[in-house]
Amino acid sequence: MPPRSIHPAPTASHTSSPPNQSEPSAEPRVVFTKHDTFQYKGITITFDRFQRVMQGLVKDAQELLWKELLFCDDDSSITSIDVSRLTDGLDDQGHDHRFLQNDSNCLNIAGGPKAILDRASASSSLRNEISFRPGTHNPVFSLTFQIKYQSALLAFLKYLFAIIHTTGGLPMTDRQVLAIRYINNGSQIRQLYLYNDAVMIVTPGGHVRSPNDALPRFLPPQVSQMVIAYLTTVVPFLEMMDLEPPTMLEDEKGYLFDYFGSGAWLTLPMDFSDEFKKRLGIGIDADDFRRIALAIAEKNGWGNFNDAAKDLK
């Protein structure tokens, strides 16, 4: 079964012994000081605080999604998504096949992409930012609207990058997260599917670093719902309304983090570290997170990362 909680999901293969003082260039180590407390890079952190950082990231991303990207009144449009009624497995392939493209899914999240425009144009705070060409329902968005919407989009993707890093099973590298595709493109097969009522990430073979990395990752329910809402409602809205920002790769589309733009490869990993600095008091990157997650798993004697995720509820 996939993980069901918003916590790191490590595996048990790491040593948590103190650093070797005779080797100043050695990797930072996790040093446990109490049952629920550890030190990393000289900063004391409790398990509870570490856990609350990830819960806060999910909460902030979800609020951005329903309030500033979907223009809904509350989060029910996202939390009501019944993933168990959707299908999209490893056999659902074919050129240009998109995640959740199957006709049987009948997706209509928050009324669909067109309803985003209706809610935005009806909003008292946005009404003057959207006009329509005479005799048509074709919208014209003010520069202010475009800047605000794309700023919210970048903030959401920044949080989503950190969330997938920290809740998607065995921690991935930055490159693995950024390489997640949701559309087939020739020989490049997508990495997003549904399995056991959760969004499943299948790591690209070329990015596998060890046998454990070949294992699929499962996103928790709240994160699965956000990914589904984003890819099936927000992305089509951007494309329909000609609001698409530049993509990560100039001549290619289909990546989960496409609309962060070409700076994604450098900026998102830096933002990941900055978010932890702001929320935890220590700037950690993907390698740091992996060390911490694996050390916690070893300390608690978890046999694999799925067991770890269940026990970290």
Q: How high is the pLDDT of residue 21?
A: 43
> Tokens 């997706």 map to which residue?
107
What are the residue ranges of helices labelled H in 43-142?
A: 47-63, 76-79, 113-122
For position 47, what pLDDT does the model report? Answer: 85
DSSP state of 124: T
Q: Is 181 strand, coil or helix?
A: strand
228 contacts 81 by C-beta, under 8 angstroms:
yes
Quick one: tokens of 170?
């065995």
Q: Is 15 left (phi over 0), alpha (psi -120 to 50) or beta?
A: beta
Minimal CA–CA distance to 185: which of 98, 119, 271, 86? 98
Q: Which two tokens stand for residue 302?
A: 């978890």
**Assigned token pair, 135:** 């005799």
Q: Phi and psi (nearest 5°) for 218?
A: -120, 130
Q: How far apart are CA 95 and CA 157, in angstroms?
A: 26
In the chain, where do the E strands start and end? 30-34, 37-40, 43-46, 130-132, 139-141, 192-195, 198-201, 217-218
**Per the confidence metrics, is the pTM higher than 0.85?**
no
pLDDT for 34 equals 78
What is the reported pLDDT for 204? Answer: 61
Report the distance separating Cα 260 and Cα 91, nearest Å: 29
What amino acid is encoded at 74 in this protein?
D
Q: What is the pLDDT of residue 208?
A: 47
What's residue 313's pLDDT? 35
pLDDT of residue 286: 86
C-beta atoms surrounding 58 within 10 Å: 20
CA torsion sign, 40 to 43 to 46 to 52? negative
pLDDT in tens, the chain (313 residues): 444 444 444 433 333 344 444 444 467 788 888 778 989 888 899 888 888 998 999 999 999 999 999 999 999 999 999 998 888 867 767 777 788 877 677 788 999 999 999 999 999 889 899 998 888 788 999 999 999 999 999 999 999 999 998 888 778 889 889 989 998 887 778 889 888 889 999 876 544 455 455 578 899 999 999 999 999 999 999 998 989 888 888 778 889 999 999 899 999 999 999 999 999 988 888 888 888 888 887 777 765 554 444 433 3
| pLDDT for position 279 | 92
* Residue 195 CB coordination number (10 Å): 15
**Nearest-5° Cα angle at 95, 249 to 70:** 60
pLDDT at 302: 63
C-alpha closest to that of 196 among 86, 56, 38: 86
- Cα–Cα separations (whole angstroms), residue 233 to 40, 126, 230, 303: 40, 20, 6, 38
